[in-house]
Amino acid sequence: MLDERTPIVIEDEESFRDFHDAVSDYAPHIEALVALLRQQPTDSDAVADLFRTFHNIKGDASLCRLTFLVPFMHSAETLLARVRSGEVPFTPRLADVLLLSTDRLQQAVDSLAAGESTGNLHLAELTSALEAMHHMAPTEVERACVQLIAALTGVREERGEVFDLQALMIDRPGDLAFFKQLALQLERRSSLFTGRTERNLKLALLTNQLAGAPIDPEQLCAAVYVHDLGMVWLPEALWIGNRVMHDEERQQMRQHVGWAAGLLQRIPGWDLAARIVLHHHEKPDGTGYPQGLHQDQIEPGAKILALVDAFESVMVKQGARGQPRSTLRAAAEVNAADHQFDPAWVRHFNHAVQHVLDEANS
């Protein structure tokens, strides 16, 4: 079993690059098979293909000397062997578990490629949870899937307090109406952005509400509308697409924060919104930008906006890859990046995502 406290050493850089590329190719195939099985859960050919794909990833990991991934892939492969034999049905919750596991695999190899730790991904715990399903009765497997989805995403199936999400939305004349129109113009730059303004605003305002509304809702609303407007002065290839940027491009990207905050600073009455925008790429450990602020120096509203912005980035990435957008998978990726966010706000954000899912399913 992987000890995630021990740094992972890449023994063969060329083999690792090959594996990284292979995972990028395998992932869309897994997504397509899972989508097919959601519609036709008894399709034995699709189940067999899915089993082979996980088996091939396991074999590639072993050949490329990434042995820490072998138990993880074997645990998913063995669970699929039970589906293939007819012991366990292919259910929507099992589909979610397989997709979330695939996402964690991608996040692990992306982290290694960037020289980052994989400890925040909790692969050992995920492997153990999958292994525990190998000998469970089908009904127990389903319950275990529910628990695992909740652990990975922070979102539980139980319905909590009901909110009128539409009532939280702020629609005011004047500056806010102007900011909203600017945000909607940004949406029109790409079909990938369709609906982002309302989606982001709803999540931000609800997260604030669930925390007791410590941030002025109008200031938060303005920050949500304006935070990415600086992107329009950057080459579209940097912010519309799904590719790895080099250092110079990353430095270019970082300028958008100051431009957007500067717009708000020049309009009387929006100083708090400007600080929220300026701080929303800061991180509690001081590794963020543009000022390298630490936990207590970061504007609380910026901690909400950071979560919403990261969530939206995952949703856009899914769309850019031609995948159906999954709120659960986006929430799981945000929760996996726990070192980037304030844990107290992550809890409120997870509850907000749950309410949004409840609204969509009602």
The alpha carbon of residue 90 and the mean position of all alpha carbons in its chain are separated, in whole angstroms, by 24
Query: Tens of pLDDT along 10-62?
Result: 878 899 999 999 999 999 999 999 999 999 999 999 999 999 999 999 999 99
Residue indicated by tokens 């292919």: 90
Q: What's 354's domain CATH number?
A: 1.10.3210.10
Burial letters 191-205, b for 16+ CB under 10 A, else e: ebbeebbbbbbbbbb
Comparing CA positions, the residue from 342, 355, 343 lying closest to residue 303 is: 342
Query: Tens of pLDDT along 86-100?
Result: 999 999 999 999 999
Task: Please report which confidence band the pLDDT of residue 326 belongs to, taking 50, 70 and 90 as the band edges.
Answer: confident
User: pLDDT above 70 covers what percent of the chain?
Assistant: 91
Task: Please report which confidence band the pLDDT of residue 169 belongs to, taking 50, 70 and 90 as the band edges.
Answer: low
Same domain, 86 and 141: yes
Q: What is the pLDDT of residue 75?
A: 97
Q: Is the pLDDT of residue 193 over 70?
A: yes
Task: Please report which confidence band the pLDDT of residue 242 belongs to, taking 50, 70 and 90 as the band edges.
Answer: low
Look at residues 153, 177, 193 and tell me which one is the last residue of a structural domain: 153
Q: Is the pLDDT of residue 1 over 50?
A: no
Within a domain: 8: no
Supply angle C-alpha 7, 341, 76, rounded to 5.
Answer: 55
> Structural domain of residue 237, as residue ranges?
165-361
Query: Tens of pLDDT along 57-115?
Result: 999 999 988 988 999 999 999 999 999 999 999 999 999 999 999 999 999 999 898 88
Same domain, 65 and 134: yes
Same domain, 149 and 232: no
Same domain, 347 and 276: yes
CB-CB contact of 119 with 3 (8 Å): no
The structural domain count of the chain equals 2
Within a domain: 252: yes
Look at residues 95, 127, 153 and tell me which one is the last residue of a structural domain: 153
